[in-house]
Amino acid sequence: MSVRSIHEFSDKQGSTRHVKHAPGALESWEKVAVKLGPRKAALVEGQLIAVFEDWINGCRFHTGWAEPEGNLADGASFFAIKRIPVRAYFWYSKRSKNTIVVSHYVNKTWRKLRLEDTNRVKANWERERAKGVNKW
């Protein structure tokens, strides 16, 4: 069995869908992984890889995989993949069909969505809207 990394999904095309990471998203994962410790980080990373792998190969996000977290402009929403205690915030790209864009990861130890996470998602979403995911 080969060791897998979330970095494989920085820009990964599956059989039907695509996962992209916004600038700084993978760095946010590295910070979260350090806080979790090696064993917990490996467990959560494996769970996230499985969710991404399933999604890019045609599975739908099931309840509990991805939950709506907040609103963006134009009636769009952003979501969180929840793997306790980690959240991966993302949105469905309107510029690139069948693509999700991961904004960033957090080690969530609080109950409510923080304004700084909402603002970070919105800033990345605006950047994608202005330039497209291939122009970052």
- Domain assignment of residue 135, yes or no: no
Between the CA of residue 49 and those of 13, 43, 65, 71, 123, what are the distances in Å? 13, 10, 12, 25, 25
| Burial class of residue 49 in the structure, from the number of CB atoms within 10 Å of its CB (0-12 exposed, 13-18 middle, 19+ buried) | middle
In a domain, 108, yes or no: yes
Per residue in 23-67, pLDDT (tens digit) is 999 999 999 999 999 999 999 999 999 999 999 999 887 767 788
Number of domains in the chain: 1
* Amino acid (1-letter code) at residue 7: H
Domain containing 120 equals: 15-127
For residue 132, being part of any structural domain is answered with no
Instruction: Tell me, yes or no, whether 98 lies in a domain.
Output: yes
Q: Dig out the tokens for 126 from the structure.
A: 């605006």
Question: 0.85 cut: is pTM over it?
Answer: yes
